[in-house]
Amino acid sequence: METNDTPSTAPASLQQLRARVSGRVQGVGFRYYALSQAESLGLTGWVRNRADGSVEVLAEGSRPELEAFVDALWKGPSGASVRNVHMEWGPASGTFERFQVTFFGF
């Protein structure tokens, strides 16, 4: 996964989660499920499909909300079958205003 070398403008209490979700996660509404979960938790960032069939997520917020988000990613929407959630943690960049679905992962 890419790294973000831009200096953080986020409060030190916020963190960044990069996750790659694998399994049956495309064609089942996973990105919009992730969007809904992230918005309900007050997270910012993005979610996108990857060419390898996985879904990639970058989310920023407080650690408890991010951990709740990870739990939601493991569950997924009905029709999904999550096999793995690979996570990388780091400091938040503070560059996102909201959480959104993006379409540039291929």
CATH code where residue 24 lies: 3.30.70.100
pLDDT digits (tens, 9 = 90+) for 10-23: 666 899 999 999 99
- Please count the structural domains in the chain: 1
Looking up tokens 């970058």, which residue turns up?
58
- With cut-offs at 50, 70 and 90, classify the pLDDT of residue 67: very high
Q: Given 24, 48, 49, 50, which residue is catalytic? A: 49
What is the distance between the alpha carbons of residues 43 and 88, in angstroms, rounded to a whole number?
16
User: Is this prediction's pTM over 0.75?
Assistant: yes
Domain range enclosing 67: 14-89
Q: Given 31, 63, 83, 98, which residue is catalytic? A: 31
The question of whether 49 is a catalytic residue gets the answer yes
Instruction: Compute how many other C-beta atoms are within 10 angstroms of the C-beta atom of residue 6.
Output: 9
In a domain, 51, yes or no: yes
